[in-house]
Structure 1
Amino acid sequence: MESSPMMGPLSSADSGKILPKQLLTLVVCCLAISVIVIDFTIVINALPSIQATFTGVSVKDLEWITSLYGVVFGSFLLTWGKLGDEFGRKRILMGGIAIFVVGSVIDGLSGNLAMMLVGRIIQGFGGAMASPSTLSILSTTFTG
C-alpha cells in the first residue's frame, strides 16, 4: 500500500474514481466558496436599490457596504485557517457557513444602513471562517 505524507495510507479506492462521498464534498466546498466570493461583488449591483430604500444614505455610506465585508474577511482569513487545522476543518467550515447565513438573513431583513453593515460584518467573519477550510478539505480529499 502506498503512503502519502499528508493523507496517510492510500487505499485502492484512490484509483482515479470519484467516490460519492468525495463528490458530495466537492459540491459542498465549491458551493460554499462560490457564494462567499460572489457575495463580495454582487452587492455592488444592489447599491442603487439600497440607496433608494434607505433614505438619506450617501455614496460614501454605500461604500462601507462593500468595504466592511472585505476588511473583515481579510482580517480573519489566516486566523480561521490556523484554527481549522487545530480544531477540525469540517467543524470550522460548517460554523462559517452558519455564521454567513445569519449575516445574510440580517442583511435581508435590515431596515436601515447600520443593520445592513452589521450583517455585512457577520458575513465577512463567516466567509473568512469557511473559505480556508474549503480549500484544505479539497486538498486532503483528492490526492494526485
Structure 2
Amino acid sequence: MAEHPDWPLVEITAGTPELAGFAWQMIEGMPKVQEQVFLHRASRTLLLADALFNVPSPRGALARFVSWAADIGGAPPRQSRFGRLHVRDRAAFIASVRAVAAWDFERIVPGHGDVIERDGPRVWREAFRALGG
C-alpha cells in the first residue's frame, strides 16, 4: 500500500465489508502478478483484471503486432502471453483456475475487451485448457 499512498486501498479479507455479496480468489502460482478474480453472486458475474483477455481483432499494423506479441487479440478469449510466462507453480495456478470454474457464474467482465454474456464457466475452462485448467 505504500506504493500508492493517495489511493484508498482496502486489504481484502474474508470480512471486508466492501466485498459483501462477492466471492474472490487469488490466482496462485503467479507470485509477481498477484491476480485476483471476483464473483458478484447476485448477478452471477465474474469480474477480472488481467486473468483473461477478450480483445477484438485489432486494426492497423502496430496494433496487430502488439496484439500478436501479447497474444491477446481475436478469438477465443484467453490468458495473455505475459500471464502464461509468469506462471511459476503450475499446480497452484491450475487449482485456482479450477476453483473459479466451480463458481456459479454466467457472465465474464474482463478488464480488457468485450463482456462475455453467456457460457462463462465453459469459456473460463477453455481459456486455461492448454495449461491443464
State the TM-score bracket (shorter-chain normalisation).
Answer: under 0.3
- Which is strand-richer, 1 or 2? 2
Larger Rg: 1
- Which is helix-richer, 1 or 2? 1
RCO higher in structure (CA 8 A, sep ≥6): 1
Taking structure 2 as the reference length, what is the TM-score of the superposition? 0.24
Taking structure 1 as the reference length, what is the TM-score of the superposition? 0.23
